Amino acid sequence: MRRRSTALTALVALMLLGAGLAADAQGVRFVTPQEGDSVRDMVRIQATKPSPNAGWISYKIIRGDTGDFVAAVTSPFAYVWNTRARDDEGKDLYPDGQYTLTAVALSGTGSKEGEASITVTLKNSVQATDTPQTVDLSLFYDRNDEVRYRAEADWAIRPASDEEKPEDVYAIAKVFNGSLVSNWKNKVMSPTYAAGHAVLHVVVGSSGAQAGTSDVGALDNAGKALTYLALKSGEMRPKHDDEPSFELAEITVPLPGRPVKVGDSWQGRMTIWPDPLKGTLAAAGAELMSDPTMQDPGMTMDPAMMDPTMMGMVGGVAATGPKAPTKLETRTVQATHRVEGFEWVAGYPTVRIRSTYSVDDDRVTIPSASSGAVAGAGMDFGAPMEPAMMDPGMMGFGDTGAGGGMGIGGQSAEKDTSYTGERITYWSWELNRPLRIVDTITHTLEIERAQAMTGMDMGMPGMGIEPGMYGPGMMDPAMMDPGMMMDPGMGYSFGPGMQAEPPKPMKVRIRVNLTIEEVGL
């Protein structure tokens, strides 16, 4: 009996040892969070692996039966999970609930070393027991307050789902898409209780933007201190109408002026930023057109004054894309504001306010579909034409020029658009200010398609050539064999002949995203 008991004990010990060795061989474990944790807002995910100096860890986030790998990171294998991320339609990606986090470790050669999984509970919403029945919201600054904010924005143009040639839209995206980053602080000069509103110095720190392949441009008033009034109603405005402004500081939400509860709504005007490239019409053609010394009464330009690099192949120009925005051109809209619930942000309970609106009669700045930067050189007629051989009727400005249907004209233009917008504001009733603002604007419009994108635009009105005007090497039609003559219906290569069928406009969507949040809490 004793022998049998000893053998059984040895067998159990061997099994436990084997399990321990297998666990050590796998060697993947979570550092943070831990199994069973409740998490919210921005969640730091970090795990370890057997060979920390080589390879990587891929993280997967699973809810129910669905999930995706969200990141592959190298040492120290840390990833920040933004639990408030939203999809392209503006819907929350991660509603409150239970999630499985999986870490898959791979060696430097890509071989799997092991994996580990934990279960956590996402709780962004404040529990009903921790929230008051109603909250009274106001913008309030105490003496000596300094509140720091950071803004991050991006904008992109995309083909609509039913666009027949999405590649044309992606060509425009190369000079249109961009981003912006800005930092500033609101420094109290006079607190709210002194006069019913606060006087602030909005001190603008490092701030810049980029569009397409442009250089990064600093925002206007970066490095300056601007005087603002912070009204209890939530409005931020310059102290005097003739003072400079910093538009990002004015993006907030109008407060109702009464206690509110979940489900309450109200109307109010607010500042939005729907057109990131407004005021950036800086392509070569637009600049040339503004110089009266370069124009004659017929809006033509002397070929001798043209930079050869601007001529290229007939129909193309060496165009530049739009410059990066340096001043934000904003507007105000009437919106509906609704209290959706209470959520945690940076450790503070906040009111989640959703603001919605739509605009049907605005304009948005986009690179012209006929700019050289987008459509290239158009038709390839060979080497650049000699200025002496160019007919003044072939020179000009506008959306179409010689041969390929492209000229030196405006490389950007304002297009008719309609758009919808949504703003999510997380307002702290303890701190009496917004902690985070998430803005999304979606444009739906049609824009002209460059002739050079769709093929040849052979027709181009030119000046008639009178007898005796034919230069060396040019044949007078009167001397041509009738069998060599082109059928009149076909016209000339440079004349009122063949015209391509007008191309269909491109169906596009433009998305402008802006997030402003308090930092340093």
114 in a domain, yes or no? yes
Tell me the C-alpha distance between 295 and 50, whole Å. 72
Sheet containing 56-63: which strands, arranged edge to edge?
38-39, 112-122, 97-106, 56-63, 66-73
pLDDT of residue 80: 95
471 in a domain, yes or no? no
520 in a domain, yes or no? no
34 in a domain, yes or no? yes
Residue that wins the pLDDT comparison between 152 and 458: 152
- Cα separations (Å) of 37 from 95, 98, 118, 200, 316? 16, 10, 9, 41, 61
Residue that wins the pLDDT comparison between 72 and 452: 72
Q: What is the mean pLDDT of residues 294-316?
A: 43
Residue that wins the pLDDT comparison between 19 and 41: 41
Encode pLDDT of 414-434 as tens digits.
Answer: 899 999 999 999 999 999 999
pLDDT of residue 392: 44
Q: In this structure, is the dihedral angle defined by the CA atoms of residues 464, 466, 467 and 472, taken in order, positive or negative?
A: negative
291 in a domain, yes or no? no
Look at residue 111 and tell me whether its pLDDT is greater than 70.
yes
pLDDT of residue 309: 40
pLDDT of residue 501: 76
Burial state string for 42-67 with b = 16 or more CB within 10 A and e = fewer than 16: ebebbbbbeeeeebbbbbbbeeeeee
Query: Mean pLDDT for the chain?
Result: 79
pLDDT band at 29 (very low <50, low <70, confident <90, very high): very high
Tell me the C-alpha distance between 355 and 424, whole Å. 6
The helix/strand/coil state of 394 is: helix
Tell me the C-alpha distance between 382 and 315, whole Å. 11
pLDDT band at 256 (very low <50, low <70, confident <90, very high): very high
Q: Which domain holds residue 53?
A: 24-123
What pTM, to 2 d.p., does this model score? Answer: 0.72
Apex CA 374: angle with CA 360 and CA 151, to 5°? 55
Query: Which residue in the block uniquely carries the two structure tokens 């050869």?
Result: 308
pLDDT of residue 21: 38
Look at residue 306 and tell me whether its pLDDT is greater than 50.
no
pLDDT band at 402 (very low <50, low <70, confident <90, very high): very low
Query: Which residue in the block uniquely carries the two structure tokens 């891929």?
Result: 58
The helix/strand/coil state of 309 is: helix
Highest mean pLDDT among 136-145, 408-417, 487-496: 136-145
140 in a domain, yes or no? no
Tell me the C-alpha distance between 230 and 162, whole Å. 46
Tell me the C-alpha distance between 40 and 212, whole Å. 35
Using alpha carbons, select from 107, 104, 99, 105 the residue that is nearest to residue 81: 99
The helix/strand/coil state of 159 is: strand
pLDDT of residue 63: 94
pLDDT over 90 for what percent of the chain? 56
pLDDT of residue 384: 45
**CB-CB contact of 44 with 100 (8 Å):** no
**CB-CB contact of 73 with 79 (8 Å):** yes
- Cα separations (Å) of 136 from 61, 351, 429? 37, 10, 7
Q: Lowest-pLDDT range, 12-21, 94-103, 374-383?
A: 374-383
Tell me the C-alpha distance between 500 and 405, whole Å. 10
Q: Lowest-pLDDT range, 79-88, 236-245, 333-342, 401-410?
A: 401-410
Encode pLDDT of 455-512 as tens digits.
Answer: 444 444 455 555 555 555 555 555 555 555 555 544 444 455 556 677 889 999 999 9
Q: Per the structure, how many domains does the chain have?
A: 1
Look at residue 202 and tell me whether its pLDDT is greater than 60.
yes
Q: How many CA atoms lie within 13 A of 354 on its CB side?
A: 13
pLDDT of residue 371: 46
E-only strand ranges, 132-214: 146-159, 178-190, 197-211
Tell me the C-alpha distance between 18 and 47, whole Å. 23
Look at residue 236 and tell me whether its pLDDT is greater than 60.
yes
DSSP assignment, residue 147? E
Q: What is the mean pLDDT of residues 158-163?
A: 93
pLDDT of residue 86: 83
pLDDT of residue 340: 95
Chain CA centroid to CA 450, Å: 24
**DSSP characters for 130-141?**
GS-S-B------
105 in a domain, yes or no? yes
Element (H, E) at 8: helix 2-26
Using alpha carbons, select from 113, 53, 93 the residue that is nearest to residue 77: 53
pLDDT band at 259 (very low <50, low <70, confident <90, very high): very high
pLDDT of residue 238: 97
51 in a domain, yes or no? yes
Structure tokens that stand for 476 in this block: 């007078």
pLDDT of residue 476: 55
User: For position 94, which CATH number holds?
Assistant: 2.60.40.10
Tell me the C-alpha distance between 341 and 426, whole Å. 10
Using alpha carbons, select from 70, 57, 59, 30 the residue that is nearest to residue 46: 30
Q: What is the mean pLDDT of residues 359-374?
A: 72
- Cα separations (Å) of 185 from 205, 228, 518? 8, 12, 9
If you count them, how many residues does the chain have?
Answer: 521
Tell me the C-alpha distance between 228 and 248, whole Å. 12
Look at residue 337 and tell me whether its pLDDT is greater than 90.
yes
Residue that wins the pLDDT comparison between 490 and 364: 364
pLDDT of residue 280: 81
DSSP assignment, residue 234? S
Most distant CA atoms of the chain, gap in Å: 127
Using alpha carbons, select from 428, 256, 434 the residue that is nearest to residue 342: 428
